[in-house]
A and B are shown apart, each in its own frame.
Chain A
Amino acid sequence: MTPTVSASGLSLHFGRTRALDDVSLRLSPGVTGLLGPNGAGKTTLLRVLATAVPADRGAFTVLGHDPATSRGRQEARRRLGYLPQAPGFHPDFSAFEFVDYVAILKELTDRTARHREVRRVLDEVGLGDVRGKRLKKLSGGMRQRVALAAALVGDPEFVVLDEPTVGLDPEQRMRFRELIAHAGEGRTVLLSTHQTEDVAMLCHRVVVLADGTVRFDGTPAELTARAAGRVWSSTERETGAKAGWRTGTGSFRNVGDPPAGAELLAPTLEDGYLLTLDGAGAEVTA
Chain B
Amino acid sequence: MTHATTGWHVPEDDLRAYARGELEPPALWSADTHLTACATCRTALAGALDPVVLDAGWERLDAELDAPRPGFLESLLVRLGVADHTARLLAATPALRRSWLGAVLAVLLLTVAVAADRGTAGPPTLFLALAPLLPLAGVALSYGPALDPTYEMAVVAPVHGFRLLMIRTVAVLAAGLGLNGLATLALPGYGLRALAWLLPALALTALALTLTARLGPVLAPSLVGGGWVALLLAADAARAEDTAVPLAPFTAAGQGASAAVAVLAAGLLALFRDRFDVDRTRGV
Which residues does A use to contact B, with CB under 8 Å?
A: 14-15, 17, 19, 43-44, 47, 50-54, 70, 73-74, 77-78, 80, 82, 84, 86-90, 92-94, 96-97, 100-102, 104-107, 109, 111-112, 114-116, 118-119, 131-132, 150
In the bound complex, residues from chain A placing their C-beta under 8 Å from that of B279 are 47, 52-53
Return A74 CB to nearest CB of chain B, in Å.
Answer: 5
Determine how close the nearest CB of chain B comes to the CB of A185; give it in whole angstroms: 23
Q: Is the CB of B157 within 8 A of A102?
A: yes
Given contacts A70-B274, A88-B150, contact A115 B66 (CB under 8 A): yes
Segment at the A interface, from B82-90, B106-114, B192-200, B233-241: B82-90
A96–B66 contact, CB under 8 A? yes
Which residues from A are CB-within-8-Å of B148? Answer: 88
Could you tell me the distance between the alpha carbons of A77 and B153 in the complex, rounded to whole angstroms? Answer: 11
Q: What distance in Å separates the Cβ of A235 from its nearest Cβ neighbour in chain B?
A: 43
What are 19 A-to-B residue pairs whose CB atoms are below 8 Å? A43-B284, A47-B284, A51-B156, A52-B279, A53-B279, A74-B158, A74-B160, A77-B158, A82-B153, A86-B152, A87-B150, A88-B151, A97-B70, A97-B88, A106-B159, A111-B25, A118-B67, A131-B68, A150-B153
Across the interface, B153 reaches (CB within 8 A) one of A105, A111, A114, namely: A105
Residue of A nearest to B71 (CB): A92
Which residues from chain A contact B70 at a C-beta distance below 8 Å? 97
Contact A87 B152 (CB under 8 A): yes
In-complex Cβ contact of B88 among A101, A112, A131 (8 A): A101
Q: How many A-B residue pairs have CB under 8 A?
A: 118
Cβ contacts under 8 Å, B157 to chain A:
77, 102, 105-107
Q: A17-B283, A89-B149, A101-B92 are in contact. Are A107 and B278 (CB under 8 A)?
A: no
From A108, which residue of chain B is reached at the shortest CB distance?
B85
How many B residues touch A, CB cutoff 8 Å? 39
Would A19 and B283 count as touching, CB distance under 8 A?
yes
Q: How far is the CB of A43 from chain B (nearest CB, A)?
A: 5
Q: Are A52 and B152 in contact (CB under 8 A)?
A: yes
Query: B20: which A residues are within 8 A, CB to CB?
Result: none
For B84, the closest partner residue in chain A by CB is: A111
Do B284 and A132 touch (CB < 8 A)? no
A96-B67 contact, Cβ under 8 Å, with A52-B279, A89-B150:
yes
Report the separation of the CA atoms of residues A131 and B151 in the bound assembly, to the nearest whole angstrom.
22
Interface residues of B in 23-79 (CB under 8 A from A): 25, 59-60, 63-64, 66-68, 70-71
CB distance from B161 to the nearest CB of A (A): 10
In the complex the two chains form, is B152's CB within 8 Å of A88's CB? Answer: yes
Q: Decide if A77 touches B156 in the complex (CB within 8 Å).
A: yes
Complex Cα gap A77–B278 (Å): 12
In the complex, what residues of B have CB within 8 A of residue A78's CB? 158
CA of A80 to CA of B153, assembled, Å? 11
Q: Which residues of A contact B83 (CB under 8 A)?
A: 109
Is the Cβ of A104 less than 8 Å from the Cβ of B152? no
Contact present for A80 and B156 (CB under 8 Å): yes
Question: Which 3 A-B pairs have CB atoms at the shortest separation, nearest pair first?
Answer: A88-B149, A14-B283, A105-B157
In the complex the two chains form, is B152's CB within 8 Å of A115's CB?
Answer: no
Cβ–Cβ < 8 Å partners of A89 in chain B: 149-150
Interface string of B155-172 (1 = CB under 8 A from A): 111111000100000000
When the two chains form their complex, are residues A106 and B92 in contact, meaning their CB atoms are under 8 A apart? no
Q: How far is the CB of A268 from chain B (nearest CB, A)?
A: 30
Q: Are A51 and B278 in contact (CB under 8 A)?
A: yes
B28 — nearest CB in chain A belongs to which residue?
A111
Given contacts A74-B158, A77-B158, A119-B63, contact A97 B84 (CB under 8 A): no
A90–B150 CB distance below 8 A:
yes
Shortest CB-to-CB span from A209 to chain B, Å, is: 13
Q: Which residues of A contact B25 (CB under 8 A)?
A: 111
Cβ–Cβ contact A90 & B66, under 8 A = no
A189 to B152 alpha-carbon distance, docked (Å): 18
Closest chain B residue, CB of each to CB of A114: B85
Contact of B63 among A47, A53, A116 (CB under 8 A): A116
The distance in angstroms between the C-alpha atoms of A74 and B156, with both chains bound, is: 9
B164: A residues at CB distance < 8 A: 105
- B277 interfacial contact with A, CB 8 Å: yes
For the complex formed, measure the closest distance between the CB of A231 and the CB atoms of chain B, giving whole angstroms: 33
A17 to B284, CA, bound (A): 10
**How far apart are the CA atoms of A82 and B158 in the complex, in Å?**
12
Once the chains are docked, how many angstroms separate the CA of A37 from the CA of B230? 47
- Interfacial residues of chain B within 201-224, with CB under 8 A of chain A in the complex: none
CB distance from A102 to the nearest CB of B (A): 6
Chain B residue at minimal CB-CB distance from A104: B85
Residue ID in chain A nearest B159 by CB atoms: A105
Which A-chain residue is minimally distant from B154 (CB atoms)?
Answer: A105
A101 near B67 with CB under 8 A, answer: no
Q: A19-B284, A74-B158, A77-B158 are in contact. List 8 more A-B contacts (CB 8 A).
A: A84-B153, A87-B150, A97-B70, A101-B91, A104-B159, A106-B158, A111-B84, A112-B59
CB–CB A115/B64 < 8 A: yes
Residues of B within 8 A of A47 (CB): 279, 284
- Give the residues in chain B near A94, CB-CB below 8 Å: 68
